[in-house]
């Protein structure tokens, strides 16, 4: 077994890990990053940008949200079921982190939001991609490259294809890690501090089933970042870390996203049209698809087989062709595509042969094709059409502007699933990002950042503050690096 010595070991070189590496190295520490993939950046390469409040960019645009307001929004949303000191520390750090990134050379394209009514807290990274590139390929890779380059300039050693297998302790203190290099040889890295930043367990079906109750590919779909299999959580728990509540970062997944292409037409499945379950009944106010897709994911999760169906007719297609697909799913998409499309584009997408997109000449035929209770669906459509006529939705009080009847053949249905962006939580930390044991005591020298330690949402991702997940990752990574340096100094 080879042995190396350093001050700080960082387990994984994604958003949180790279931020930690730069922060620790800027503080004068010797740092090694062990990354099991062949490149750095992790999920950050696919992201758009971090949350921040009171940044220079927000001040320039006179965006009024304050740290205090953001804190209140977050804590009210989570019903105070989360660590308020950690939330406060992350929010208070966010503006200086944007300045820190800009000083390194990171540029920001825009300060955006998700959906109408949300605060403008999402700092979209300016990258080399063109506006015509495929929707969904984020600009975060530009930030990850700059962080990687900065870390290496500061002398950080980045060891790729070298997964960490175990955290070493001497007594109650952290003493380093054991990793495995490209040749298969074990490497023992002796260090006084270890920062875990492995990105959660979103690529581990067994852990998702055990800790979140979903079965990937059946009642949960979405983004799986290769390698995010929960190894950081396992190693932390083995080292004595307390577990936290664990959940999935939910959103809504629309059938055309599984088809690929036709991205503007996919917006048809993210409009506040009629939505029913397999019983043929409405179960939510469809307006929420315009607001918080996390809530839609929660609502669909409760339905039979964890799915639902959005239903519309030919007249609805014609309406969106004429009026445009206004209010795309988030502000970033508006930067990448106009959201406009023609009837042919929609019909190509709907007729693409996907098993979860259905077309019929009558509601009854549509019910039979989809597998919905025929009598119930016909009754639901009749009731819904009456609500559209009167402008009064007596069931869920849906805004009349979103009440569009379902009358004119052909009739269309698209299957909706809970979608995931990743996992949330697993390692208990305090507001200094120090890992705690089950007695709420600090494990000296052990830190965690990013998704592995992100239990600040309770049971539902705080979509109301755009950029939250990446913001938490980069800020807690930076905090962990800085606090690890303070810990090293205290030992001298």
Contact in structure between 255 and 414 (CB atoms under 8 Å): yes
> How many residues are there in the chain?
492
Which pLDDT value is given to residue 339?
45
Hey, what CATH class is 250-419 in? alpha beta
Contacts (Cβ under 8 Å, ≥6 apart) of 122: 48, 49, 50, 51, 111, 112, 113, 114, 331, 332, 466, 467
Q: What is the CATH number of domain 2-245+425-490?
A: 3.50.50.60
pLDDT over 90, % of the chain: 72
Of residues 117 and 27, the one with the higher pLDDT is 27
pLDDT of residue 333: 45
> Nearest 5 degrees, angle CA 117-CA 118-CA 122?
145
* Residue 334 pLDDT greater than 50, yes or no: no
**pLDDT over 70 at 254, yes or no:** no
Q: How far apart are alpha carbons 140 and 41 in whole angstroms?
A: 8
The string of pLDDT tens digits covering residues 41-91 is 999 998 889 999 999 999 999 999 999 999 999 999 999 999 999 999 999
Reduce the secondary structure of 171-228 to three states and give it as a string.
CCEEEEEEEECCCCCEEEEECCEEEECCCCCCCCHHHHHHHHCCCECCCEEECCCCCC
Q: Is the pLDDT of residue 128 over 60?
A: no
pLDDT tens by residue, 175-227: 999 999 999 999 999 999 999 999 999 999 999 999 999 998 888 887 788 89
Pairing of strands 442-448, 122-125: unpaired
Residues of the chain with pLDDT > 70, as a percent, come to 88
- pLDDT-derived band at 343 (thresholds 50, 70, 90) equals low
Mean pLDDT of 306-321: 90
For CA atoms 158, 159, 163, 165, give the dihedral sign: negative
Is 29's pLDDT higher than 90?
yes
Task: Report pLDDT for 155.
Answer: 98
Domain boundaries along the sequence of the chain:
2-245+425-490, 250-419
Report the pLDDT averaged over residues 153-162.
98
Tell me if 416 sits within 8 A of 266, measured CB to CB.
no
The whole-angstrom separation of Cα 199 and Cα 371 is 38
Is 2-245+425-490's fold the same as 250-419's? no
The pair of structure tokens assigned to 408 is 């004119």
Closest residue by Cα to residue 119 from 87, 77, 157: 77
Residue 135 vs residues 116, 121, 138, 331, 348: alpha-carbon distances, Å: 19, 20, 8, 12, 18
Put simply, whether the predicted model's pTM sits higher than 0.85 gets the answer yes
Distance in Å from the first CA to the final CA of the chain: 28
């Amino acid at each position: 077994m080879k042995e190396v010595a350093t001050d700080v070991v960082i387990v994984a070189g994604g958003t949180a890990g790279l931020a930690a590496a730069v922060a620790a190295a800027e503080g004068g520490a010797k740092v090694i990053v062990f990354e099991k993939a062949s490149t750095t950046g992790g999920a950050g390469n696919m992201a758009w940008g971090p949350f921040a409040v009171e940044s220079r960019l927000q001040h320039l645009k006179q965006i009024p949200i304050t740290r205090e307001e953001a804190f209140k929004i977050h804590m009210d949303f989570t019903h105070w079921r989360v660590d308020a000191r950690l939330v406060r520390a992350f929010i208070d750090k966010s503006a200086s982190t944007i300045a820190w990134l800009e000083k390194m050379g990171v540029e920001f394209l825009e300060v955006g939001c998700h959906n109408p009514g949300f605060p403008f807290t999402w700092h979209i990274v300016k990258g080399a991609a063109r506006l015509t590139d495929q929707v969904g390929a984020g600009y975060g890779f530009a930030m990850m490259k700059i962080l990687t380059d900065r870390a290496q300039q500061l002398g950080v050693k980045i060891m790729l294809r070298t997964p960490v297998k175990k955290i070493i302790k001497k007594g109650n203190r952290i003493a380093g890690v054991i990793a495995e290099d490209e040749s298969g040889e074990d490497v023992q890295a002796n260090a006084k501090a270890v920062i875990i930043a492995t990105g959660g367990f979103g690529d581990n079906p067994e852990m998702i089933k055990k800790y979140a109750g979903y079965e990937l590919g059946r009642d949960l779909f979405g983004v799986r970042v290769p390698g995010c299999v929960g190894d950081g959580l396992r190693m932390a728990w083995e080292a004595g870390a307390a577990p936290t509540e664990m959940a999935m970062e939910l959103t809504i997944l629309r059938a055309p996203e599984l088809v690929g292409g036709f991205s503007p037409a996919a917006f048809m499945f993210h409009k506040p049209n009629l939505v029913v379950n397999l019983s043929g009944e409405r179960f939510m106010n469809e307006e929420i698809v315009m607001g918080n897709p996390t809530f839609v994911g929660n609502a669909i999760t409760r339905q039979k087989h964890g799915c639902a169906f959005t239903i519309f007719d030919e007249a609805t297609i014609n309406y969106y062709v004429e009026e445009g697909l206004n209010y795309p799913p988030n502000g970033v998409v508006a930067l990448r595509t106009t959201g406009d499309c023609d009837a042919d584009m929609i019909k190509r997408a709907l007729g693409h042969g996907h098993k979860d997109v259905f077309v019929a000449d009558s509601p009854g035929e549509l019910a039979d094709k989809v597998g919905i209770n025929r009598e119930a669906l016909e009754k639901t459509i009749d009731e819904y059409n009456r609500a559209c006529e009167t402008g009064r939705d007596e069931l869920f009080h849906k805004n009349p502007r979103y009440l569009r009847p379902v009358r004119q053949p052909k009739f269309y249905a698209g299957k909706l699933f809970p979608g995931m962006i990743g996992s949330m939580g697993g390692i208990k930390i305090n507001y200094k990002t120090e890992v705690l044991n089950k007695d709420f005591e600090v494990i000296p020298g052990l830190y965690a950042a990013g998704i592995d330690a992100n239990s600040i949402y309770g049971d539902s991702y705080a979509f109301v503050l755009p950029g939250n997940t990446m913001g938490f990752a980069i800020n807690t990574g930076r905090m962990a690096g800085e606090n690890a340096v303070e810990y090293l100094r205290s030992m001298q």
